[in-house]
């Protein structure tokens, strides 16, 4: 059986090897270094580098050296997120079935908070996200949980760039009051009709060495919910621990 080697395209191989060489040089290298490392002529190396730079796989900086570019970083990030979601879903599904409520996962990445997964079902529908979390993190349990887990500098930067819009009469729009609230209970944050009337959410952090996130459960508002809160909080925290173990990374303190 043929191994298909006759169809290999040498220029593609050389381009990929140049990217590998940049990585092996500590993430930064000049054209002459790369040419020597790959046994290529300098002119061939420049042609390949121009193409890789044009497509965003490499970036040429002011001193003439090359570093990994935004396209490659984006591909790597998407691959990382796909792995995170594939490991998180089974636990989220178990939590949905245990609490009979939709489950949400959000992460902080590149200066923004984003909902990256929702696990619901026809019998357990999710709550309509009528305002994106980009404009409503302060009014959601997920957003407040992630803000609580951020470093002081990251939190200050985030809040400086995101106005505290009033979504309901219960939304906290005062920055000091918001920070006092999330600092007082960083392991379990609440949205009690702050995002949407009639909806309550509880969230707990999912934090590892390279991921800051939170998992939340949404439910229709109940007049008496102290017992339900304890049940949800315990299930959420068990699930967050399972996710952190599934990610294969150290758990947060």
Cα separation, 102 vs 107, in Å, equals 17
Number of domains in the chain: 2
Domain around 36: 5-68
pLDDT at 24: 85
pLDDT at 61: 86
Cα separation, 196 vs 174, in Å, equals 18
Last residue of a domain, one of 43, 68, 93: 68
Distance set, CA 74 to CA 43, 133, 179 (Å):
29, 21, 32
Based on the domain organization, do 116 and 232 belong to the same domain?
Answer: yes
Strands 112-119 and 189-192: unpaired
**Residue 52 and residue 58 in contact, taking contact as beta carbons nearer than 8 Å:** yes
- For 147-167, write each residue's pLDDT tens digit: 999 999 999 999 999 999 999
Based on the domain organization, do 96 and 201 belong to the same domain?
Answer: yes
pLDDT at 143: 97
- pLDDT over 90 (residue 10): no
Based on the domain organization, do 225 and 174 belong to the same domain?
Answer: yes
Band the pLDDT of 224: cuts 50, 70, 90. Answer: very low
Residue 8 CB-density burial (10 A; 0-12 exposed, 13-18 middle, 19+ buried): exposed
Based on the domain organization, do 37 and 104 belong to the same domain?
Answer: no
Band the pLDDT of 78: cuts 50, 70, 90. Answer: low
Based on the domain organization, do 93 and 196 belong to the same domain?
Answer: yes
229 occurs within a structural domain: yes
Structure tokens, 214: 């939170």
Query: Is residue 70 within a helix (H) or strand (E), and if so which, with residue range?
Result: helix 70-99
Based on the domain organization, do 109 and 158 belong to the same domain?
Answer: yes
- pLDDT over 70 (residue 223): no
């Amino acid at each position: 059986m043929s191994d298909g080697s006759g169809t290999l395209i040498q220029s593609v191989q050389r381009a990929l090897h140049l990217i590998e060489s940049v990585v092996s040089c500590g993430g930064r290298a000049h054209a002459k270094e790369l040419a020597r490392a790959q046994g290529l002529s300098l002119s061939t190396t420049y042609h390949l580098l121009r193409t890789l730079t044009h497509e965003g796989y490499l970036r040429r900086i002011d001193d003439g050296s090359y570093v990994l570019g935004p396209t490659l970083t984006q591909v790597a990030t998407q691959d990382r997120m796909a792995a995170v979601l594939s490991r998180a879903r089974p636990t989220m599904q178990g939590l949905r079935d245990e609490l009979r409520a939709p489950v949400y996962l959000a992460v902080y990445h590149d200066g923004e908070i984003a909902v990256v997964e929702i696990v619901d079902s026809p019998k357990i529908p999710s709550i309509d996200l009528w305002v994106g979390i980009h404009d409503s993190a302060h009014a959601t349990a997920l957003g407040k949980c992630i803000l609580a887990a951020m470093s002081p500098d990251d939190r200050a930067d985030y809040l400086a760039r995101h106005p505290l819009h009033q979504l309901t009469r219960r939304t906290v729009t005062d920055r000091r009051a918001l920070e006092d609230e999330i600092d007082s209970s960083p392991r379990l944050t609440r949205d009690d009709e702050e995002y949407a009337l009639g909806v309550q959410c509880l969230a707990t952090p999912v934090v590892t060495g390279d991921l800051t996130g939170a998992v939340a459960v949404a439910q229709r508002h109940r007049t008496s919910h102290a017992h339900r809160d304890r049940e949800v909080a315990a299930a959420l925290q068990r699930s967050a621990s399972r996710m952190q173990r599934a990610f294969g990374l150290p758990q947060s303190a």
